[in-house]
């Protein structure tokens, strides 16, 4: 037991000293056994939420109805969840109620995949009721229990199976694979937000070719928002060089391969996928930049209006797409931008109104805008006098 787990040991030991069972569970144990870096460790315990809260000085109720209490210790926080079973699954979605239990095995039984269903105690011993360690060694994605039943309980698990195939490069076990083929349509009952999370993880997976193969052959892709006819686009997407650094790169590239070139249409597609507004804006900007760069070189004004990070990322994506790109020019333009934002402009509405001794109006905004563009493009120096003179000569004020 080391690293992130070691720091969390006091939580396990406090629970154990009080007579409860407590284990590390879920993705953190899987990643540790795979030799990957572990970020947040999850803890499962036989203690009920009220019992957990009594044992620790600082706790936060983050999901107490699901049995999760956040324990704050030193600078860290840990999610401690009571062993539970899930019941009354309706419409192939997450259960509407959970039942707390005292048995680890019952808790592990409700988990999705064998490689996500073992537990590790404070000594580093693994509790593995479903041969998850064997599947990890043999690189197999297998549902816990009867795959068909498990996908009926929660259809998102099918997406999770494929995304782990993409992240880990594992193969789907035959029964699990077949159950996805038969039940892929059930994905349509799942909230798009939840599908989105798994889709992005799949799309960014290190073994995306393998993940995409499973996504196609099971037909899962056809039940994702707006992807019914997206197979060719997805295939092309999966073939470009990796890794993708950001979520917005996934969406910009996917839109590009889908041949969407109207920003409004692109935004509508992403809205349908329930992306945040910020992510929609940035992804669409990246798409616009890629398309713009098919025809035009970069200039200071483009860099200024789209922001340096997006400019740089667009050149990166062009390179991945094996299209003409120009990082040297991008870097030079970014480093030599005369101003970064309108606040840095040496004039503003007040200065112009004083100079011209007149009141505001639409003309004022227009004047500021042309001055801004002229400064950004280097046509005038960013100094008050030259800008005012230039605006007068050009009859803007």
Return binding residues for CTP: 27, 30, 111, 154, 157, 160, 163
Residue tagged 């040991």 (tokens): 9
Q: Applying CB under 6 A, which part among 109-117, 177-185, 216-224, 337-345 lies near ligand ATP? A: 109-117
Q: Applying CB under 6 A, which part among 56-64, 153-161, 226-234, 323-331 lies near ligand ATP? A: 153-161
* Nearer residue to Mg ion within complex by CB, 27 or 378: 27
Euclidean distance between the first and the last CA atom of the chain, given in angstroms as a whole number: 72
Residues annotated as binding site for Mg(2+)?
A: 40, 42
SS (HEC) of 79-128: EEEECEEEECCCCCCCCCEEEECCCHHHHHHCCCEHHHCEEECCCCCEEE
Q: Applying CB under 6 A, which part among 112-120, 131-139, 220-228, 289-297 lies near ligand ATP? A: 112-120
Q: What are phi and psi of 79, to 5 degrees?
A: -90, 120
Q: Is residue 249 near ligand ATP by the rule CB under 6 A?
A: no
Helices (H), 169-276: 174-183, 192-203, 208-217, 231-239, 247-257, 263-272
Count of residues binding ligand ATP (CB under 6 A)?
9
Nearest Cα to Cα of residue 69 among 84, 86, 81, 83: 81
Q: Is residue 226 near Mg ion by the rule CB under 5 A?
A: no
* Nearer residue to ligand ATP within complex by CB, 207 or 312: 207
Count of residues binding Mg ion (CB under 5 A)?
1
Q: Is residue 27 near Mg ion by the rule CB under 5 A?
A: yes
Q: Which of 59, 114, 116, 238 binds ligand ATP (CB under 6 A)?
A: 116
Ramachandran area for residue 118 (φ above 0: left; ψ -120 to 50: alpha; else beta):
beta
Distances (CA, A) of 194 to 155, 210, 293: 11, 22, 34
Q: Is residue 67 near ligand ATP by the rule CB under 6 A?
A: no
Contacts with ligand ATP by CB under 6 A lie at 26-27, 111-112, 116-117, 154, 156-157
Contacts with Mg ion by CB under 5 A lie at 27
């Amino acid at each position: 037991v080391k690293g992130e787990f070691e720091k969390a040991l006091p939580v396990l030991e406090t629970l154990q000293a009080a007579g409860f069972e407590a284990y590390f569970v879920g993705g953190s144990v899987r990643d540790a056994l795979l030799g990957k870096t572990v970020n947040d460790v999850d803890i499962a315990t036989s203690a009920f939420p009220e019992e957990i809260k009594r044992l620790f000085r600082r706790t936060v109720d983050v999901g107490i109805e699901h049995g999760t209490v956040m324990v704050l210790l030193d600078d860290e926080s840990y999610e401690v969840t009571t062993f539970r079973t899930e019941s009354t699954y309706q419409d192939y979605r997450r259960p509407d109620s959970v039942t707390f239990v005292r048995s680890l095995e019952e808790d592990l039984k409700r988990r999705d995949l064998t490689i996500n269903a073992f537990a590790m105690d404070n000594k580093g011993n693994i509790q593995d009721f479903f041969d998850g360690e064997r599947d990890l060694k043999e690189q197999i994605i297998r549902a816990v229990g009867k795959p068909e039943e498990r996908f009926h309980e929660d259809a998102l698990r099918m997406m999770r199976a494929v995304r782990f195939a993409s992240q880990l490069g594992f193969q789907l076990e035959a029964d699990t694979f077949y159950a996805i083929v038969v039940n892929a349509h059930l994905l349509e009952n799942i909230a798009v937000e939840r599908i989105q999370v798994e889709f992005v993880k799949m799309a960014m997976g290190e073994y995306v070719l393998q993940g995409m193969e499973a996504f196609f052959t099971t037909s899962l892709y056809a039940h994702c928002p707006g992807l019914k006819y997206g197979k060719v686009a997805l295939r092309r997407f999966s073939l470009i060089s990796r890794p993708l650094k950001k979520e917005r790169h996934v969406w910009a590239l996917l839109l590009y391969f889908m041949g969407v070139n109207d920003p409004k249409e692109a935004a509508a597609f992403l809205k349908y996928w329930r992306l945040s507004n910020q992510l929609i804006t940035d992804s669409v900007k990246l798409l616009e930049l890629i398309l713009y760069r098919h025809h035009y070189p970069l200039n200071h004004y483009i860099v200024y209006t789209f922001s340096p990070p997006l400019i740089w990322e667009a050149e990166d994506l062009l390179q991945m797409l094996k299209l003409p790109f120009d990082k040297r020019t991008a870097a030079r333009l970014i480093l030599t931008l005369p101003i970064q934002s309108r606040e840095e402009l040496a004039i503003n509405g007040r200065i112009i109104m004083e100079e011209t001794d007149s009141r505001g109006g639409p003309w004022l905004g227009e004047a500021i805008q042309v001055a801004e563009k002229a400064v950004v493009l280097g046509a005038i120096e960013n100094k008050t006098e030259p800008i005012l003179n230039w605006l007068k000569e050009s009859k803007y004020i």
